[in-house]
Amino acid sequence: MINFIAILERAFPTRCIICDKTINHFVVCNSCLAKIKPIESHCLKCGLSLKTGFHEFCGNCIDKKLYMDEVWSLYDYRDISQIILSLKLRRSLRAKKAMEQLIKYAFLMRENQQVYNLDGINCVTFIPIHWKKRFVREFNQAEIIANIVGKLLDKPVKKMLIKTKSTEDQTALPKEKRKSNVKNTFKAINKPEGGIILVDDVATTLSTLNEAAKTLKRAGANKIIGLCVARSSYV
Ligand SMILES: [Zn+2]
Ligand SMILES: [Zn+2]
């Protein structure tokens, strides 16, 4: 199908997704982009920002047991919310380009810090959405992000999970209900093997990523890295 959004975005002068300033190329304007900084360092268990470098776990995570071996978070949700929403709600090509640019920038920074280890990682996968939602929305933003991540890390992207139940949107639920809302809602397809990077756009309580990681581990994966582009803390 012809992508009319892409044609329109190319044909007309565009505006910066963040400040609305007119720009001649799509994406975010340079002054907005310069202000967006990746999370400098974070807890490798919950992905929340830390002031003292990358650590295996933070004070809140000492006793936390997760199915993910590590959590990587690239940006604070508040800093990139316009881009996330633009990708999610409008499937904007500009938002996709901006996302590509931001993920690349964050990975480059991590490469210099040598904290993200890809040993044993076979492929990249993503949090699926239920087929009904996919039918209405026509795309899954986590899949779009997984494709960007796979390209940048030179790893194949494979669909490994399906969502078997249509659940309520996690953002509409209070913290205590988010775990039960996603419990046993994923099913593994394509036998997962070795290490897998599991991608989602936003993580708040980690319930979704952890439930999906549980499903992949039980189906045979031996290492799961949960990667969220935007880490939000529940407020
Ligand atoms: Zn701007
Ligand atoms: Zn932590």
pTM (predicted TM-score): 0.88
* Domains of the chain, earliest start first: 39-231 (3.40.50)
37 alpha carbon – ligand 1 mean position (Å) = 14
pLDDT in tens, the chain (235 residues): 456 555 555 556 677 878 888 876 656 787 887 889 999 999 999 999 998 888 889 999 999 999 999 999 999 999 999 888 888 876 777 788 889 989 999 999 888 888 899 999 999 999 999 887 777 777 899 999 999 999 999 999 999 999 998 777 777 777 778 778 788 889 999 888 899 999 999 999 999 999 999 999 999 999 999 999 999 986 5
5 alpha carbon – ligand 1 mean position (Å) = 20
- Please check whether residue 196 is in contact with residue 226, taking contact to mean a CB–CB distance below 8 angstroms: no
- Please check whether residue 123 is in contact with residue 190, taking contact to mean a CB–CB distance below 8 angstroms: no
Ligand number, closest to the Cα atom of 48? 2
Map residue 189 onto helix, strand or coil.
coil
Ligand number, closest to the Cα atom of 206? 2
- Please check whether residue 231 is in contact with residue 81, taking contact to mean a CB–CB distance below 8 angstroms: no
17 alpha carbon – ligand 1 mean position (Å) = 7
94 alpha carbon – ligand 2 mean position (Å) = 33
97 alpha carbon – ligand 1 mean position (Å) = 14
196 alpha carbon – ligand 2 mean position (Å) = 21
222 alpha carbon – ligand 2 mean position (Å) = 21
DSSP state of 170: G
Q: For 73, list phi and psi in degrees, rounded to 5.
A: -125, 135
> Which residues line ion ligand 2, judged by CB < 5 Å?
43, 45-46, 58, 61
Q: Which pair of structure tokens corresponds to residue 96? A: 């996709």
pLDDT for res 85: 87
Ligand number, closest to the Cα atom of 28? 1
Cα 184 to Cα 30, 166, 187, 188, 207: the distances in Å are 43, 11, 8, 11, 11
pLDDT for res 25: 63
